[in-house]
Amino acid sequence: MSKKNKKKNLNKTLVEKMLDQQKIPYKQLQFATIQKGDVKQMDTSILDDEEALVYKTLVCEGNKNSPIVGVVPVTEHLCMKKLAKASGNKKCELLPLKKLVATTGYVHGANTPIGIYQKHHFPIYLDSSMKDHNQIAVSSGEIGRSIMINPDDLQKVTEATFVDLLE
């Protein structure tokens, strides 16, 4: 491997390296981060009308099956009842922030459905609105870092289920 290729690989997240190994196409994205309360988040406001193409990864606990992961647009809210029903639970709630890193290996703002599935095989549920787009953005495992990926490729790599998850 040439020095140029080695240097290029150093800038990739673990998720991006996994996608490279599986020959799944994606595009790297970088967002500025902003501090909101106790956590850092990426600032997607620069996207204007395309902000709905950015999806957030929410880790939840169910009363029967746990943990479960819902992926919805950053502009929308996850319907806990719909996620519970899809995952075989009667109810579910967001995983407490203090349990997040121990459960997923990622800090708030860096959770990625790809990394979570590859590490833990937690069930992943993708909002069906994703299928309306050729490319969507999800976190690539670091705050402020995302990838643009085809929703069908995301579904394949995470063995996810498409379901209506929006309130």
- Say what the pTM is: 0.86
pLDDT for 148-159, tens place per residue? 999 999 999 999
The pLDDT-based confidence of 36 (bands split at 50, 70, 90) is: low
pLDDT of 80 reads 97
Q: Which helix (H) or strand (E) holds 137?
A: strand 136-142
pLDDT of 39 reads 57
Q: Which domains does the chain have, with CATH numbers?
A: 14-163 (3.90.960.10)
Pair 95, 103: CB distance under 8 Å: yes
Other CB atoms within a 10 A radius of the CB of residue 111 amount to: 25
CA-based torsion, 108, 28, 12, 158: positive or negative: positive
Preceding peptide of 123 cis, ω within 30°:
no
pLDDT of 73 reads 95
pLDDT for 96-125, tens place per residue? 999 999 999 999 889 999 999 999 999 999
Q: Is 54 helix (H, G, I), strand (E, B) or coil?
A: strand
